[in-house]
Amino acid sequence: MATITIMDPVTRIEGHMKVELTIDTINGQQQVADASCTGTLFRGFEKILEGRDPKDAPVLTQRICGVCPISHGMASVLALDQAAGSPPPDNGRLLRNLTLGSNYVQSHILHFYLLAAVDFMHGPQTHPWVPAWEVDMRPGLDAVAANLPLAIEARRRAHEMGAVFGGRMPSAHALIPGGFTGTPKQGKIAEFRQQLDWLLDFVRNTYIVDVSEVAAAYSDYFDLGIGHSNLIAFGVFEEAGGGKLFSPGYIQGGIQSPLDESTTAEITEGVTYSWYDDSTNNQTPSSGETVPQYPKGEAYSWLKAPRLGGLPFEAGPLARMQVNGDYSGGVSVMDRHAARAQETLKVAEAMNGWLDELDPAGPVFGGYDDPVSGSGIGLTEAPRGALGHWVEIQEGKLSHYQVITPTCWNASPRDDQQTPGPLEQALIGTPITDAQQPIEALRVIHSFDPCLSCAVHVMEPHGKPIVIREAGLAFR
Amino acid sequence: MQVDRRSFLNYCIRSAAGLGLSASLVEKLEQAYAQDGTGLPTVLWLACANCTGCTVSLANRISPEAPTDVADLLINHISLAYHPNLMGATGDLAVETLKSASVSPYILAVEGGVPTAFNGHTCMLWTDGGREVTAMEAVQELAPGALAILSVGTCSSFGGIPSGAPNPTGIASISQLTGLETINIAGCPTHPDWIVWTIAQLLAGSYPTLMGDGRPTGLFGGEDREVHERCPREDSPRAQEFGCEDMCLRDIGCKGPQTQADCPTRKWNNGTNWCIGANSNCIACTEAGFPDSFSPLYYPPAFVVSRPLSITKAEWAGEDRELDAEGYGTVLAVVELRDADSGAVLGSATVSREGRWRIENESLSAPPSRVIAESGTEIAERDVSQDGESVGMEVTKAEWKAEAAELRVEGKTIPDRNVQVKNAGTGLTLGSVSSDGEGKWVFAATNPDPVPTRVRAECEGYAAERDVENAPQEVPVFVEITTAQYQLDTSKLTVDGNGSAGRTVVVMNASTGGTLASQTIGQDGSWAIQVSNPDPVPISVRAECEEAFAERSVEQVGTPLSEVSISKAEYRSRKDELKVDGKGTPGSTVTIRDAIGSKVYGIANIDRRGRWRFVKKRPSPVPSRVRADCGNAVAERDVTSR
């Protein structure tokens, strides 16, 4: 008989999410028969931004996420640059890239060592790493586990590197529409390069090696968590001449296509299973509204369901690397980890080049004339995937603001065609040894580096929760 | 990562100057550790409506000379039993871990404010027994029993950015929600040193002195804590645009003069840099009104706002014989106001950095019928409205359409403004709407919960209310308590009762008013709450359900587990020092309060022989009677003065 396992909270992710798994034996194999993901936090940033000075948006939106604030700042300044027709000077573009790149390095290291590694090996035998599920961990990874303190130092150094030009991390107000505020003095360039050299060594000789070790011990995970295998990237890191280090594009049914403005206009957000008013279903972000409604019918998430051409897409390092021909593997749990590690090296090496391009005497800010009215789209990538800010300005104030985060793509609920979101689909079919400790499912979830707080529960199909332990009274 | 407890102390001594820890505090820490490390409290870290930025910031604390980082401080020296971003356990095991840890003394750290709209369902923290638990319930459950409550970051301290207008999810700070005192370690994000400093104080048994807004005086108080006063650029030339090195940023919106924090000297990311060091404005992220009281964050001329000249208001107040005109214009341009008929000059003003101008004239005997504003080549005109005929705010219609589940409110106010529409009964904002060019506005909301019987519209100091037509009839709300028992051996308080189905019942300590728990009353009209380790243990409890309330004294059943007594309690006025001695269950912790139970003076550890001593310098206020809580045991004694 099928059981429903609810993991709530799903820990070691950023933010609030819950995952519900229907576990059943099919063809003699116990596995995930169905899955649903629930975003359990709504703060209404889009509502808060309406009516404010547009220039405040890069500061305020950085607080959407404390792990990838610079990406939100970047999306916001790109949208405002476009609305005002005020692109940054070269130095401004490069300093934005260097600050964002620093955060990529810290975020990827944080994810592998602090959030995901404990799924594959025993962590330190102290709070908060214990208690943990008593599941079979494969041997031979002690050397990887021993690198945790070094990884904590590496993550901290990456943030210090970002503060050299950005002022402070995790959130840096140096990113402003029209450019950047910090200047590339020679001493600062040297300070930045010193941290970068140390980190390049760590990424090459520790991080990538450790991911290979885990991949070797868990090579069966190259066949798990495959999902729809539709990949999308908005592209990130503006280069001289208008290109990007990672170009935008999408892969669907094994076919790669470019992602231009007209394709982007086909992105819609479904709310059939989201706690928002149905009148806002399948709107485009540039016109879509955020009207919360709780409770609502069969809705189960505060996340909306973004779709391109009506289809769900997976975003993240694997999508960026495959779209740009930098990663040739497949789509799976271990491919996501491997692509993330290899991407860290690609970004860090590119940062070396951007440092060389800086002109210590050149301007960082090119001026910015507040538009009385206008609109702009800022498409970029957070470390965990495609991110977009859609901005409209009327009478000098923000009249409309919509954000699509990478986790909206990845952890989205079903749409009105009943198609599961990418993470939901990736979970379906995952073999489960112990329905009460579904570590295999947790490995799938963490491979996406979700940016919200999740949860997994146990219920009968279409039915009530099974009590798999004494129901407590203390926290009802 | 395994570190012996001594290294924490070494870490503190080496970092004492940087962290601002006094020599006496380091000495107290040493004493605390000398007692075999017993009584080191557990830390439970809740992530409410947060962004995880404060956790990420905390991870940035590592002292170059110390062998380990702050993770060691927290993980090896206090027990970080629950932290959703870091812990190994997931799902039910995580919830079990939290429950079992909350049986022992604990410090509650909360990151993020608490949403109260939609009955708290916009932020759900975990599922327990098939039921989703909201942040509102979790905080109300865990806060009353905590040794101390740390509001980590501006959101949990004051509401922060998610509480910015129109506060869509009804965010409350932890102290607003619980009515309890919190230590507000503000900042967006907060500085890791500030968290470490506060925890070090608590471990040493010294509850930090707080400012009126709940921030520790030692971190945010004092006359020289204003960022601008300490800023190395205080007397530098003033920048007029962005990207200028070593210049004062005041003219382009830096909030340093309005902000209290030690950023100019402490800096961020282990001294790497700080906001102003990167030529970016201080945004007042440590202040209670952030962000709304400090918006917009940037001023012209860094970003030049050239708005067309307009007159948005021209009013004659007959009684005061005063003409008042306002409008928008080009920043720093001069605007001249004239009588449209006679051409007489009525006044002039310079457009502010926010793009606004205002001209008042009290020397006229009669009002002009129409005024003209001129600035450069631009001209704007407007009729002057007189007392009585100007509409500040008027609600012309308020109707509930049950079939569409829609509330519709219409009215008239100043043109082109933002109107906030509220439930006049609860004061909670329903939403906002812009008035059109004639001042008319129409507001509609589907499924407001509860449906208001009266609404209120506000705009720039004007307000008006109106009863809602066809609003659902209100059923009188009631609540009663049938049993109230405190189980001495398990330290659990159980309160059961009945009330209006679907309403929220809030159960509190009837003496202190502190909230113990809240719950939605079931469809069968019954409710039941259980609280582990209520601190202090209530003598009687009070249940409130909107206007209805009930009280009942708590029956104590079972046998007590802990013991505590006070043998001496004296205040030495010459030394301005409170000294309390006593006995108790060895290895436990005693919390010292005033006898009412509201003011906590600190905690003391009971040694292996069952003795404890608590000394508090400069207690404020000096108590006339103190109480000591140890687990479920309580003792009281009058304070003698010498």
Is B459 assigned a catalytic role? no
Q: Within 10 A of B463 (CB to CB), how many other CB atoms are there?
A: 16
Residue A53 lies in a domain: yes
Task: Give the integer Cα–Cα distance in Å for A435 and A456.
Answer: 11
Please tell me which residue of chain B has the smallest CA distance to A372. B307
Q: How far is A263 from chain B, CA to nearest CA, in Å?
A: 31
Please tell me which residue of chain B has the smallest CA distance to A397. B296
Residue A203 lies in a domain: yes
For residue A191, the one-letter residue type is E
Q: Are B540 and B504 in contact (CB under 8 A)?
A: no
- Which stretches of B322-428 are assigned E, i.e. beta strand? 322-330, 334-339, 345-350, 356-361, 370-375, 378-383, 385-386, 393-401, 406-413, 418-423
Place of tokens 């991911």: A211
Judge whether B293 is closer than 8 Å to chain A, CB to CB.
no
Per-residue model confidence as pLDDT tens digits over B26-61: 677 666 655 545 556 788 999 999 999 999 998 887
Q: How far is A258 from chain B, CA to nearest CA, in Å?
A: 33
Give the torsion through C-alpha atoms of A315, A317, A318, A321, to 10 deg. 120
Residue A453 clears pLDDT 60, i.e. is over it: no
CATH code of residue A418: 1.10.645.10
Q: Which two tokens stand for residue A442?
A: 């947790």
Mutate to test the interface with B, among A48, A135, A194 (most CBs of B within 10 A): A48
ipTM value: 0.90
Q: List Cβ neighbours of B404 (8 Å cut-off, separation of 6 or more).
A: B446
Q: Are B481 and B497 in contact (CB under 8 A)?
A: yes
Cα separations in angstroms, A134 against A119, A122, A131, A438, A445: 11, 10, 9, 11, 18
Residue A222 lies in a domain: yes
> In whole angstroms, what separates CA A251 from the centre of its chain?
18
Q: Which two tokens stand for residue B40?
A: 């080191």
pLDDT at site A326? 96
Judge: B532–A474 Cβ closer than 8 Å, yes or no. Answer: yes
> In whole angstroms, what separates CA B610 from the centre of its chain?
39
- CA–CA–CA angle A246, A251, A255 (5° rounding): 125
Is B155 assigned a catalytic role? yes
Q: Which two tokens stand for residue A169?
A: 């991390």
Q: Within 10 A of A245 (CB to CB), how many other CB atoms are there?
A: 20
Residue A475 lies in a domain: no
Partner residue facing A14 (CB), from B52, B118, B167: B52
Per-residue model confidence as pLDDT tens digits over A123-148: 888 778 888 898 989 999 999 999 98
Per-residue model confidence as pLDDT tens digits over A383-417: 999 999 999 999 889 999 988 889 889 998 999 99
Going B111 to A127 to A37 to A443, the CA torsion angle's sign is: positive
As a whole number, the mean pLDDT across chain A is 89
Q: Within 10 A of B577 (CB to CB), how many other CB atoms are there?
A: 15
Compute φ and ψ for A340, nearest 5 degrees.
-65, -45
Task: Give the integer Cα–Cα distance in Å for B566 and B581.
Answer: 6
Q: Chain B partners of A130 at a C-beta cutoff of 8 Å? A: 88-89
Judge: B168–A15 Cβ closer than 8 Å, yes or no. Answer: no
- Which stretches of B468-539 are assigned E, i.e. beta strand? 479-487, 492-499, 504-509, 515-520, 526-532
Judge whether B239 is closer than 8 Å to chain A, CB to CB.
no
Is B228 assigned a catalytic role? yes
Q: List Cβ neighbours of B459 (8 Å cut-off, separation of 6 or more).
A: B392, B393, B413, B414, B417, B418, B419, B420, B435
Judge: A64–B97 Cβ closer than 8 Å, yes or no. Answer: no
Name the DSSP letter for residue B120. Answer: G
Residue A473 lies in a domain: no
Is B191 assigned a catalytic role? no
Q: Are A155 and B174 in contact (CB under 8 A)?
A: no
Judge: A367–B241 Cβ closer than 8 Å, yes or no. Answer: yes
Q: List Cβ neighbours of A36 (8 Å cut-off, separation of 6 or more).
A: A19, A20, A300, A301, A413, A414, A420, A424
Name the DSSP letter for residue B431. Answer: E
Q: Chain B partners of A10 at a C-beta cutoff of 8 Å? A: 90-91
pLDDT at site A459? 25
| Nearest by Cα to A300 from A149, A415, A385, A163 | A415
Judge whether B62 is closer than 8 Å to chain A, CB to CB.
yes
Judge: B306–A369 Cβ closer than 8 Å, yes or no. Answer: yes
Please tell me which residue of chain B has the smallest CA distance to A368. B303
State mean pLDDT over A83-111. Answer: 96
Q: How far is B568 from chain A, CA to nearest CA, in Å?
A: 37
- How many cross-chain Cβ pairs, A to B, lie less than 8 Å apart? 343
Is B123 assigned a catalytic role? no
- Indicate left, alpha or beta for A396 from its phi (over 0: left) and psi (-120 to 50: alpha): left
- What residues make up the domain containing A373? 3-456
pLDDT at site A410? 93
- Strand-pairing partners, residue B517, are B507
Mutate to test the interface with B, among A291, A444, A476 (most CBs of B within 10 A): A476
Q: Under DSSP, is residue A464 helix (H, G, I), strand (E, B) or coil?
A: coil
Long-range contacts at A213-217 (CB < 8 A, ≥ 24 apart): A213/A140, A213/A141, A213/A143, A213/A144, A214/A117, A214/A120, A214/A121, A214/A141, A214/A144, A214/A334, A214/A337, A215/A334, A215/A337, A215/A338, A217/A120, A217/A138, A217/A139, A217/A140, A217/A141
Task: Give the integer Cα–Cα distance in Å for A214 and A216.
Answer: 5
Task: Give the integer Cα–Cα distance in Å for B78 and B62.
Answer: 17
Is B48 assigned a catalytic role? no
Name the DSSP letter for residue B127. Answer: E
pLDDT at site A475? 25
- Number of domains composing chain A: 1
Is B54 assigned a catalytic role? yes
Judge: A66–B273 Cβ closer than 8 Å, yes or no. Answer: no
Residue A373 lies in a domain: yes
| Nearest by Cα to A389 from A169, A88, A179, A82 | A82
Cα separations in angstroms, A149 against A114, B59, B321, B529, B628: 10, 12, 74, 43, 41
| Nearest by Cα to B477 from B496, B515, B450 | B450
Is B12 assigned a catalytic role? no
**Of the listed B123, B231, B459, B630, which one is catalytic?**
B231
Judge: B52–A67 Cβ closer than 8 Å, yes or no. Answer: yes
Residue A41 lies in a domain: yes
pLDDT at site B307? 66
Q: How far is B613 from chain A, CA to nearest CA, in Å?
A: 30
Residue A463 lies in a domain: no
Structural domains for chain B: 5-220 (3.40.50.700), 222-299 (4.10.480.10), 306-386 (2.60.40.10), 393-467 (2.60.40.10), 479-557 (2.60.40.10), 564-641 (2.60.40.10)
Judge whether B55 is closer than 8 Å to chain A, CB to CB.
yes
Q: Which two tokens stand for residue B17?
A: 């100057």
Task: Give the integer Cα–Cα distance in Å for B82 and B41.
Answer: 13
Given a cut of 50, the residues of chain B with pLDDT beneath it are 1-3, 36, 63-72, 74-75, 301-305, 389
**Of the listed B123, B263, B459, B545, which one is catalytic?**
B263
- Cis ω on the peptide bond leading into residue B472 (within 30° of 0)? no
Q: Under DSSP, is residue A394 helix (H, G, I), strand (E, B) or coil?
A: strand
Judge whether B442 is closer than 8 Å to chain A, CB to CB.
no
Judge: A174–B278 Cβ closer than 8 Å, yes or no. Answer: yes
Q: Under DSSP, is residue A70 helix (H, G, I), strand (E, B) or coil?
A: helix
Judge whether B97 is closer than 8 Å to chain A, CB to CB.
yes
Partner residue facing A131 (CB), from B97, B281, B529: B97
| Nearest by Cα to A138 from A219, A218, A211, A223 | A218
Is B545 assigned a catalytic role? no
Pairing of strands A236-238, A231-233: unpaired
Task: Give the integer Cα–Cα distance in Å for B5 and B304.
Answer: 57
Task: Give the integer Cα–Cα distance in Å for B638 and B642.
Answer: 13
Task: Please indicate whether residue A198 or residue B19 has the higher confidence score (pLDDT).
Answer: A198
pLDDT at site B322? 87
Q: Under DSSP, is residue A209 helix (H, G, I), strand (E, B) or coil?
A: helix
